[in-house]
Chain A
Amino acid sequence: MSATIPLSWFLLVGAGLFSIGLYGALARRNAVAVLMGIELLLNAVNINLVAFNRYIVPQQVTGQVFAIFVLAIAAAEAAVGLALIISIYRSRDTVNLEDIDLLKG
């Protein structure tokens, strides 16, 4: 079905999504916004895994299996990250990453 679309189009979408997510993770001040940027990064990686699976080894499911592993890692990362954010908000009353400098010497 998708074989008429060139592989590089999917890879370009992945690269674009990765770059946007990287900007979000680096530039935002709010910790939740940084986590959203990281979710975009993981999605970009998954697009690449599934596209390579479809175009280079279409008879196997290796890329899809690894995409499911990335999905599970993303779920774990989101749960722990958001729990940390809520915990920090309770004790410091802020989710601004510039104000969370407890470990700075």
Chain B
Amino acid sequence: MAITYLHLIFLALAGFTLLCALGVVASRNLFHSAIWLIGAFAGVAGLYWLLEAEYLAIAQIMIYIGAIATLIVFAIMLSRGMMIGRVKMNNFQAGISAVVAALLFLMLSFVLLQVNWPVVEQAVSVDPIPMIGEAFVTTYVIPFQVIAVLLSVALVGAIMIARER
């Protein structure tokens, strides 16, 4: 297998993403966690770009970095829960959680390296974005409507829960 520059880009993006994810769970200061989280989201967007899913890469940047990360930073600021100082950052089950996560990773990588995936050597369709739009109004029209209603209800509910009484 020839190593091309794409492999190097993939390894850089994957290493960046996983490093940022480790920063999210290992930072004591929650604000630093949020900054690492933005890095992890950006790395995942880069992986989408590498997988030729440009629409999702842009959506990832706009929704995750633009909206969700901002919301999380607001919540940290509003709850003064930065965990600075001598506060314990992990609960009593941190050790067993680390073991479970490591075992899960080993099991998943063992399984997915065993399986012979039915990979198709084929280019992606010329323009996937019109296909996505078409899928939303034909095959997936019911899930699309349901998700739209769910999102509206959730956002109105969030405003009702968080407002001052």
Residues of chain A whose beta carbon lies under 8 Å from any beta carbon of chain B: 1-13, 15-24, 26-33, 35-37, 39-40, 43, 46-47, 50-51, 53-62, 64-65, 67-69, 71-80, 82-87, 89, 94-98
Using A7-B117, A47-B48 as known contacts, list a sample of 15 further A-B pairs with CB atoms less than 8 Å apart, ordered by residue number in A: A4-B6, A13-B14, A27-B97, A32-B72, A36-B24, A57-B120, A59-B125, A64-B53, A67-B53, A67-B56, A79-B155, A80-B161, A82-B71, A83-B161, A86-B162
* A78 and B72 in contact, given A69-B147, A95-B79 (Cβ under 8 angstroms): yes
Q: Which residues of B contact A64 (CB under 8 A)?
A: 53, 55-56, 128, 132
B residues contacting A by CB (< 8 A) are: 1-2, 4, 6-7, 10, 14, 17-18, 21-22, 24-25, 30, 33-34, 37, 40-41, 44, 47-48, 50-53, 55-56, 59-60, 63-64, 67-68, 71-72, 74-76, 78-81, 83, 88-91, 93-94, 97-98, 100-102, 104-105, 108-109, 112-113, 117-125, 128, 131-132, 135-136, 140, 143, 147, 150-151, 154-155, 157-159, 161-162
**Whole-angstrom CA separation of A53 from B75 in the bound complex:** 35
Docked Cα-Cα span, A82 to B30, in Å, equals: 14
Q: Which residues of A contact B63 (CB under 8 A)?
A: 71, 74-75
* Contact call A5/B10, Cβ cutoff below 8 A: yes
Indicate whether A83 sits within 8 Å of B162 (C-beta atoms), given known contacts A26-B100, A50-B51, A72-B147.
yes
Bound-complex Cα distance A31 to B68 (A): 15
Give the secondary structure class of B's interface: helix
Tell me which of A26, A37, A58, A86 contacts B124 (CB under 8 A).
A58
- A2–B51 touching, CB < 8 Å: yes
- Please indicate the chain B residues that have their CB under 8 angstroms from the CB of A84 in the complex: 161
Query: Shortest CB–CB separation between residue A6 and chain B, in angstroms?
Result: 8
